[in-house]
Amino acid sequence: MRDWLIQALKESHREETAYHQEATQRLEEAHRRFTGRIEQVYLDKLDGKVSERFWLEKTREWEAERDRVLDKLRAYDGASDRYHEDGVRLLELASRAYDLYSKQSAEQKNKFLRIMLSNCMLQGGSLHPTYKKPFDILARGVESRNWGE
């Protein structure tokens, strides 16, 4: 079970890493483009091709865009680290869930269930839960007794 989860996490992390790299490359290109525009419009101002007012307006506009791109780049850097850390925490939680749950107060159990479940239905005297992601993957593995499915 644990090996399957680790493998699934690795595969998911590879996909996330590829997406992260593509997105980062697009953002870095946008940063270079705005920086180039700022530099070019300054040269145009010095050469008298554009007015001071136009230069100021465009410089402010492109600097604001460049700052937004930098903020997104910083967010991607933090998200990449969190993605892996969250996966490790999920594995730790899965391996200790029953023990942790059994020791909680009723209020804490309720909170825990609200995090894991999106809906529960009672059908024919049996409770049928609908799990939120990523708990749905764990539930399917438990139900099938085959963590590779």
Tell me the pLDDT tens digit for each residue of 37-57: 999 999 999 999 999 999 999
How many residues comprise the chain?
149
Per-residue model confidence (pLDDT) at position 59? 96
Q: Work out the pLDDT band at 26, boundaries 50, 70, 90.
A: very high
Which tokens belong to 55? 């230069």
CA 90, 92, 93, 94 dihedral sign is positive
Amino acid at 55: W
Same domain for 97 and 65: yes
Same domain for 122 and 95: no
Same domain for 112 and 88: no
pTM: 0.52
Range of the domain at 114: 105-149
Q: Are 16 and 83 in contact (CB under 8 A)?
A: yes
Strands 117-123 and 126-131: antiparallel
Q: Locate tokens 């990449």: which residue?
A: 80
Which tokens belong to 56? 């100021």
Number of structural domains (the chain) is 2
